[in-house]
Chain A
Amino acid sequence: MALHRVSRVSVVTNALTEALGSAIDEAQRVGWGSLSGSIRNIGQRADVLGLAVMSRPAGPAIEFLRPTLTANAGRRSLSARHGLGAFPLHSDCAHWRRPPDFVLIQCASGTSTTPTLILPLVKLPAGLESAFRQGMFLVGYGRRAFYAPAMSDGGLRFDEGCMRPLDGQALRVTEYLRATSRDAVEFHWTNEDTVLVMDNRRALHGRAPVHDAGDRRLARLYLGVAA
């Protein structure tokens, strides 16, 4: 799906919008893309491409992430389970009824020695297409919990932190994704201008183990295709 829309802004923001459009196209094609720019400016220009900024209820549009020890982490966070260890591959906000379509990340601390791991799943694995669409997970907790498969409405939803497989097909999907995590590509944070754009419905992402917690501060922005 091409997301390029009307162009009606200055040359500078036109260039940024075009770069974002290309990165989004790339992400939709292969799971992820990147561009040079400022994540804050991108958030302000996304509407030109028919994209809307999505955030947690009452949360800021841009959130900053730091490696956190288990003891200091929020009760229902990946850090609470994994601390400074590797984060398993997941899609962001899998517990939302409508997860964001794109996750944009920039290294606010300039560079980091801890790479982000990306597993593109643009095409479902042969023999498991039905299980991805049919196997049911319990998603979320308590009164807001609901059932959902790993693939619905044309997009992925998977996070073992908030999804529990409830039947044999969901279990097979979980086992497959665990086993495939070794195929994830590493994205290294070597340039402070780089913005990573991941298609949150066509790729999973995670974090390699953190060896130097002090050097990693990431800024994150969620974008959704405007209804």
Chain B
Amino acid sequence: MTDPFDPDALFDKAKLFINRCFDAHSAGQFDAAALWASLALEIVAKWALATVNPCLIADPSDDGTSLLTAAGLSKTVADFKTIPAKAAFSRCARAFPGFNAREAGRISGNRNDDIHSGALPFAQLDEERWWQSYWREVAVLLSAHGMTVSDLVGAENAGVAEGYITRNNETVSLLVAKRIEAAKARWESRESGVERLGGFVFGPEYESSAVCPACGNRGELMGDSVVGEQEVWPDSLEDYFTPFSLLDVASHLFNCPFCNLFLDGPDYISAADLPETFETEVAIEPAWEEYNNE
């Protein structure tokens, strides 16, 4: 039996879904094409995780049945269940910097609305923009494993997908420029005595600050994905017992509480020339504090 967590099987299935997407795309059926594409995105996300370790897509809530199967310790393949799309996207955002779980969630949300209700979610969308955003997310997952969209869609359709990615970069640059311009105008025209036009954001685990490209104040730079870690043991005697970890975190969100500029997504951060990673300190408890040989 084909292992449902086998990365090659997942990739072949993603290819089939993408082929069907392009069949519908070339027939001018956006809704069908987008539905197949959204199904493919979930499979590509699971492929990206399973390539690292199949346990990353195993449902953890079935008393270990799926985890044991993915780990090769059980052969109950028929009972294997995978994690939901939302969990897969969330893990991808942490594992593969640049992947935007919110955007992927929006894409799978369209799919869920389409197949679970009488709503027509794809009829309300800007097709061009939807494909731009879609192909960007797919490309991030593929590049995490040294692949390109051509490996997924084949030479025949690679140009179409790459065209959307190029246009996405242009669109995001334009959108970011407009947001910065609007925030700058807001800040400059604020009433006297007003110190802040926005609020603070909670959500991502790690935080630093960066100069806001609109108003020049310090805004919040946030993210969840740790891309590097270094333990630091201070030289001075009084600080030696308060070591900390110096984390490199991929920037995912920028929020300026002063001019209310809000940029969500690594591509938006990059287009605003904000740092793509930031350093932050996290206190670590020295192990020997628990040891007592008095």
B-side binding surface: helix, strand, loop or mixed?
helix
> Counting CB contacts under 8 A, is A144 at the interface?
yes
- Asked whether A129 and B16 contact (CB < 8 A) given A147-B9, A167-B23, the answer is no
* Contact B12 A134, beta carbon cutoff 8 Å: no
> Counting CB contacts under 8 A, is B154 at the interface?
yes
Closest to B153 in A: A134
Closest to A136 in B: B16
Q: Which residues of B contact A170 (CB under 8 A)?
A: 19
Mark contacts of A122-163 with chain B using CB atoms, 8 A cut-off: 1 yes-contact digit, 0 otherwise: 000000011101111000000111111100000000000000
* Contact B19 A147, beta carbon cutoff 8 Å: no
CA A134 – CA B153 in complex, angstroms? 7
Cβ 8 A contact of B1, one of A135, A144, A169: A144
CA A169 – CA B157 in complex, angstroms? 11
* Contact B9 A146, beta carbon cutoff 8 Å: yes
* Contact A147 B13, beta carbon cutoff 8 Å: yes
* Contact A148 B1, beta carbon cutoff 8 Å: no
Mark contacts of B1-37 with chain A using CB atoms, 8 A cut-off: 1 yes-contact digit, 0 otherwise: 1100000010011011001101100100000000000
* Contact B154 A133, beta carbon cutoff 8 Å: yes
* Contact B2 A167, beta carbon cutoff 8 Å: no
> Counting CB contacts under 8 A, is B156 at the interface?
yes
Q: Which residues of A contact B1 (CB under 8 A)?
A: 143-144
* Contact B2 A134, beta carbon cutoff 8 Å: no
> Counting CB contacts under 8 A, is B194 at the interface?
no
Mark contacts of B142-164 with chain A using CB atoms, 8 A cut-off: 1 yes-contact digit, 0 otherwise: 00000000000111110000000
> Counting CB contacts under 8 A, is A166 at the interface?
yes
CA A131 – CA B156 in complex, angstroms? 8
> Counting CB contacts under 8 A, is A168 at the interface?
yes
CA A51 – CA B157 in complex, angstroms? 38
Cβ 8 A contact of B12, one of A131, A148, A168: A148
Q: Which residues of A contact B20 (CB under 8 A)?
A: 166-167
Q: Which residues of B contact A134 (CB under 8 A)?
A: 15, 19, 153-157
In angstroms, how far is the closest chain A Cβ from the Cβ of B150? 9
Q: Which residues of A contact B153 (CB under 8 A)?
A: 134
Q: Which residues of B contact A167 (CB under 8 A)?
A: 16, 19-20, 23
In angstroms, how far is the closest chain B Cβ from the Cβ of A28? 24
Can you list 18 A-B contacts (CB < 8 A)? A130-B154, A130-B157, A134-B19, A134-B157, A135-B19, A136-B16, A145-B2, A146-B9, A146-B12, A147-B9, A149-B15, A166-B19, A166-B20, A167-B19, A167-B23, A168-B19, A168-B23, A169-B154
Contact surface of A with B, Cβ cutoff 8 Å: 129-131, 133-136, 143-149, 166-170
Q: List the 5 closest pairs (A to B, CB-CB), nearest first.
A: A134-B154, A167-B19, A130-B156, A136-B16, A130-B155
